[in-house]
Amino acid sequence: MTDVSSLMPPDAVVALRSFPRRYTAAVDSAGHDERGEVTRRIGPDGVSVLDLLVDTTRTLEVAGHAISQILPGEVPMLPASVLDPTDRDWSDYDITDAESELALLGAEATELADTIERVPGADWELTAHVAGGGSCTALDVVREAVRTAADNLRAANRAIKGP
């Protein structure tokens, strides 16, 4: 698991802006014509590259929504999936293909990075309640999104490279 405990917002912006390029490079490492085949590969963890792309895209989307709820300072109730990967279930998500998913990943990463850049420094400590108990800050949400994207990219690279 990637350690994001010291990740600060400017670092998160850089990481988020790099993920679309890095995921695309990973998928294309086997040859551009093989994107569909590559994204169907199952990694050692039993998860396909496409499923990892979907998890990353949806996690970034959920994080963006969470940040927009926290920033007004209302102390909202966030779903547990914002911080807990075991609570993430994307079975209702309409997965199309690698091209579309890479484009969505790019859009969500850019949108979240843009949002982060607009947040004043003091607002990173604004909190929210998390379903199931506990609370988190806006910075905690961003750190978890970056951790998920980094870990999923690492897992995707392992699946693409194969045994």
Q: Could you tell me what percent of the chain has a pLDDT over 70?
A: 96
Neighbours of 132 (CB within 10 A): 10
Report the sign of the C-alpha dihedral through residues 50, 1, 80, 140, in that order.
negative
Q: Which pairing describes strands 127-130 and 77-78: parallel, antiparallel, or unpaired? A: parallel
Q: What pLDDT sits at residue 32?
A: 55
Task: Report the SS3 class of residue 119.
Answer: coil
Task: Report the SS3 class of residue 117.
Answer: helix
Total domains, the chain: 1
Domain assignment present for 2: no
Domain assignment present for 126: yes
- CATH number for the domain spanning 51: value is 1.20.120.450
Phi then psi dihedrals of residue 44, to 5 deg = -60, -25
pLDDT tens series, the chain, 163 aa: 899 999 999 999 999 999 999 999 999 887 656 777 788 888 888 888 999 999 999 999 999 999 999 988 778 889 888 988 888 877 776 777 888 899 999 999 999 999 999 999 989 999 999 999 899 999 999 999 999 999 999 999 999 887 6
Domain assignment present for 146: no
Residue 131 tokens read as 């379903």
User: Looking at residue 137, what DSSP letter applies?
Assistant: E
The C-alpha angle with vertex 111 and arms to 108 and 114, in degrees rounded to 5, equals 150
Domain extent, residue 74, equals 9-137+153-161
Average pLDDT, the chain: 90
